[in-house]
Amino acid sequence: MVNYKIPSQTRIGHIHLKVSDLERALDFYHGLLGFEIIQKLGDQAAFISAGGYHHHIGLNTWQSKGADPAPSYAPGLFHTAILYPSRKSLAEIFVRLREANYKFTGAADHGVSEALYLDDPDGNGVELYYDRPKEEWPINNEGEIEMYTRSLDLEDLLKELS
């Protein structure tokens, strides 16, 4: 088992989140972030996606309707990372969220990517990010990717829209 490597084409296909209020979650993921509703199961569940995929995110209240957010210090999901196809599209969602007065919890340059951080209405962490082209990723002297966390230059990001 030591020599096994997961196939390089493997991707994380979707996430499924427990939410306390389906409509409030849809207001965020569909109304604000722009995911398409693919299927809705009454007031209990919805499946949403970008580009018509069967679902990138499942939302349900099966075990969590009306529940308080999970404590931030407990084990569990740190954040859901949503990859945007271009730096310009990241700038566009930044402006959309800022105009909606949605609270950001952070913004970072990781060398390999640029990211915006926020929480959904249930306190689930959400990262909206853009990957730099692989040839631009920082590499250390040992040939390893060297990620870091620095402040994201939001003014420079906004230049993508001019």
Q: Are strands 45-49 and 104-109 parallel, antiparallel or unpaired?
A: unpaired
Question: Does 139 score more than 90 pLDDT?
Answer: yes
Task: Tell me which DSSP letter residue 139 carries.
Answer: B
30-41 pLDDT per residue, tens: 999 999 999 999
Distance CA 33, CA 50 (A): 10
Q: What is the rounded average pLDDT for all residues in the chain?
A: 96
* Top-level class of domain 79-162: alpha beta
Residues 41-95: tens digit of each pLDDT = 999 999 999 999 999 999 999 999 999 998 889 898 899 999 999 999 999 999 9
Domain with CATH 3.10.180.10 in the chain: 14-65, 79-162
Using alpha carbons, select from 84, 157, 148, 154 the residue that is nearest to residue 110.
Answer: 148
pTM of the model: 0.94
- List helix spans (H) across 77-146: 87-99
The CA distances from residue 81 to 18, 67, 131, 141, in Å, are: 16, 23, 11, 29
Assigned CATH for 14-65 = 3.10.180.10
* Band of residue 7 on the pLDDT scale cut at 50, 70, 90: confident
